[in-house]
Structure 1
Amino acid sequence: MDFSRLQTVSKVSDEWSYPQKDARISGLLPVDRAPDHTLYWEEYGNPDGEPVLFLHGGPGGTCSPVLSRFFDPARYRVILFDQRGCGKSRPTVAGAGPEVALVKNTTDDLVADINRLRQALNITGKMHLFGGSWGSTLALVYAIRHPDAVASLILRGIFLGERDDLLYMYQGNAETWADRPYALTRPGSYVAYPDEWKAFVEIIPPGDRSDMMAAYKAIFDRTTLGEADRAVQRAAAVAWSVWEGTISYTVPPAADPGQNAEADFALSFAQIEAHYFANDLFIEPDYVLKHVDRLAGIAIHIVHGRFDQVTPLAQASALVAALEAAGSPARTFIKTNAGHSALEAETVIALTAVMDGLDRLDG
């Protein structure tokens, strides 16, 4: 039997409209003391163009140069940056430990950092905010608090961060896994990814599986670490990171999980996520939906994968319904035949088309 014609990846290949370019400039911006949080940023495109600030996912993710390809380099001034504790920003969890890197690392801090970055880069007028997954949450929170600074929100993979949203991805049928591993005892991402779910669940002993996020965080919070404990912590961080990375694609890149399987990235990514999730993202319940009236006058464009198992489509639908009820409907709501990742082909095409079609900023 010949299976060579089956799709083996769903990641973007030649669907990009714009070439990969090197950053024009980059820098480090001190934003806090004790600990000395410093943000790494890069700028692409036209230095006199319309400013676009890219907010990466996670919390705990990072930016990479390929993300600049969503934007026409002749039109836009594109700023990518790594949020606190992430990527090339300092300190990181992997480098300095959670007892340092997670201090002063909250949603309020990240919102304040956006304003610090705007000031440092002399962005005085309105800007476009482009965010996916957790980046969509942060973009919405920022726009709710600072609507006068935002011309448009371009959002992918809407994440509202409610408890049920997290349970769908991280809890699933874990509590009954030991006795009935393939029973559909509650909704969850595991339904579409049973083998990958097995690897995620079995890091945690059966007696601790009633709250998977808490069980993982207990491992991450260990402070008296011998080498055996460090090995357990690394394994847990990689399992957490690979689980999310894998299920972000409709056709998972199983042969090459990329940076998600790298210990340093995983230690920072997983521990920052667990930190934010244990604290309800440091925002009140239903924060975004309760405050959508603050977004009136901002052009909102939403792209969401129909088969997204990290942030299911219902979250985007809830946001769209709330915007309509507030009298300020989304300008665009595109459902792509894709999963969660920004780098799936249809989502790349849709996001690029949205950026190409935005109303131009005055001045």
Structure 2
Amino acid sequence: MKTLYPEIEPYAIHLFKRNRHHIHVEECGNPSGLPVVFLHGGPGSGCKAYHRRFFDPEKYRVVLVDQRGAGRSLPQGKLVGNTTADLIRDLEYIRHALQIERWLVFGGSWGATLGLVYAQRHPPKISGLVLRAAFLARQRDIDWFVGSGADRIYPEQWDRFMESIPEPERHRPLSYLYACLTGDDELARRRAARVWAQWSGQVIVGNEFEPSELTEHVSSEIVNQARIELHYAVNGYFIPENAILEQCGRIRRLPVILIHGRRDLVCPVESSFSLSRRLPNSGLRVLPNAGHIAAGEEMIDALVSAADEMAERLDS
């Protein structure tokens, strides 16, 4: 069973100015290696040091991008000029700036969503895709997470979530929380961020989630991530309904590895299955004991193995 590669530091760090945003980008591994761009989830979560370790540092030139408003990109939590189209333009700008002709796209959850839309917009610039826990940004996917799916798995937590929202607003919890997060009341912003983080954390992490960790203090990072997440959610992720599946023909020739945990309660495995039916050059790997996050022996083994396999496939 494969594990993460050893810890590694970036050999280059960039801060690209894009309109009113500054995009943090780091490079690690082999400067002459196979280019791969890592797309984090959320939206709004940012890259972490362990994300560098999915890739063989001798074979890959790893580019990690903190998307607009996320991670170390500035200003943190900024919503103006922050849409899916903006993120796609940023990726093309970065690719040009780093003088990369084509690169492998590696992303999970929202990162898989962004990777799919980006690849469909610019297929000649993509050498392949490794996608974990694909999220298709359909209304049914949003509804599953908030109101008609996961609430049936965690009814106690859902009940607490709804009790945190005024009764007249309970028919539109996302819109209500988003209004709080973008309002002028600092206390209301932090309360809304706590409510959202407690519910989403429970569904994402599962039984290991400790909601007590969010009862004492809600950091600005938690508030900013919640702002971005709900900014995208209430706007349908700025993606037309069912567009990702409908545009799969544009990337049908690309090699794609789809990895999905059977126990994923954020993005049910149906999403990756539906993609595999539309992408004849794809392989679907369903992990029986894995959940949503990129953690645990089974998931780490699958992700590292996929990156190693793509390196051999694209190199040959």
* TM-score normalised according to structure 1 size: 0.81
- Aligned residues of 2:261 and 2:287 also touching (Cα < 8 A): yes
TM superposition shift of 1:255? 7.1
TM superposition shift of 1:256? 7.8
Structure 1 stretch displaced more, 332-341 or 44-53 = 332-341
Q: Give the structure 2 partner of residue 25 of structure 1.
A: 12
Q: Give the structure 1 partner of residue 43 of structure 2.
A: 59
Matched, 1:116 2:93: yes
Alpha-carbon separation, structure 2, partners of 1:52 and 1:149: 11
Which residues in structure 2 correspond to 1:107-256 (within 5 Å)?
107-123=84-100, 125-172=101-148, 188-222=149-183, 225=184, 229-254=185-210
Identity of aligned residues (%): 37
- Aligned residues of 1:246 and 1:257 also touching (Cα < 8 A): no
**Structure with the higher helix share, 1 or 2:** 2
Structure 1 stretch displaced more, 200-209 or 131-140 = 200-209
C-alpha spacing 1:15/1:329, structure 2 compared with 1 (3 Å): closer
* TM-score normalised according to structure 2 size: 0.92
Secondary structure of 1:239 counterpart = helix
- Aligned residues of 1:242 and 1:257 also touching (Cα < 8 A): no
Q: 1:354 aligned to 286, 306, 311, which one?
A: 306
Alpha-carbon separation, structure 1, partners of 2:255 and 2:159: 42
Secondary structure of 1:104 counterpart = coil
C-alpha spacing 1:242/1:71, structure 2 compared with 1 (3 Å): farther
Alpha-carbon separation, structure 1, partners of 2:200 and 2:2: 24
Secondary structure of 2:282 counterpart = coil
Alpha-carbon separation, structure 1, partners of 2:211 and 2:145: 22
Which residues in structure 2 correspond to 1:37-48 (within 5 Å)?
37-48=21-32
TM superposition shift of 1:241? 2.4
Code of the aligned partner of 1:348:
I
Q: Give the structure 1 partner of residue 247 of structure 2.
A: 291
Once the two structures are superposed, residues 188-219 of structure 1 have per-residue CA deviations (whole angstroms, 9 ceiling, x without a partner) of 21333344334432221122111211121221
Alpha-carbon separation, structure 2, partners of 1:233 and 1:15: 42
Alpha-carbon separation, structure 1, partners of 2:212 and 2:303: 25
C-alpha spacing 1:201/1:252, structure 2 compared with 1 (3 Å): farther
Alpha-carbon separation, structure 1, partners of 2:169 and 2:202: 24
Code of the aligned partner of 1:253:
F
C-alpha spacing 1:81/1:15, structure 2 compared with 1 (3 Å): same
- Aligned residues of 2:39 and 2:64 also touching (Cα < 8 A): yes
Cα root mean square deviation, aligned: 2.0
Q: Which runs of 5+ in 1 are unaligned?
A: 1-13, 94-100, 173-187
Alpha-carbon separation, structure 2, partners of 1:78 and 1:256: 36
C-alpha spacing 1:28/1:197, structure 2 compared with 1 (3 Å): same
Q: 1:73 aligned to 47, 57, 61, which one?
A: 57
Alpha-carbon separation, structure 1, partners of 2:244 and 2:269: 16
Q: Which runs of 5+ in 2 are unaligned?
A: none
Query: Which has more radius of gyration?
Result: 1
Once the two structures are superposed, residues 164-211 of structure 1 have per-residue CA deviations (whole angstroms, 9 ceiling, x without a partner) of 111111124xxxxxxxxxxxxxxx213333443344322211221112
Code of the aligned partner of 1:158:
A
| Count, aligned residues | 313
- Aligned residues of 2:287 and 2:298 also touching (Cα < 8 A): no
Code of the aligned partner of 1:193:
Y
Q: Give the structure 1 partner of residue 69 of structure 2.
A: 85
Secondary structure of 2:314 counterpart = coil
Once the two structures are superposed, residues 280-324 of structure 1 have per-residue CA deviations (whole angstroms, 9 ceiling, x without a partner) of 11121111111100002210100001011111111111212222x
Q: Give the structure 2 partner of residue 308 of structure 1.
A: 264
- Aligned residues of 1:237 and 1:263 also touching (Cα < 8 A): no
Alpha-carbon separation, structure 2, partners of 1:334 and 1:171: 25
Alpha-carbon separation, structure 2, partners of 1:290 and 1:122: 31
Q: Give the structure 2 partner of residue 11 of structure 1.
A: none
Once the two structures are superposed, residues 321-361 of structure 1 have per-residue CA deviations (whole angstroms, 9 ceiling, x without a partner) of 222xxxx2413433341111012331111011111112443
Alpha-carbon separation, structure 1, partners of 2:235 and 2:241: 11
Secondary structure of 1:251 counterpart = helix
Alpha-carbon separation, structure 1, partners of 2:48 and 2:124: 28
Code of the aligned partner of 2:254:
I
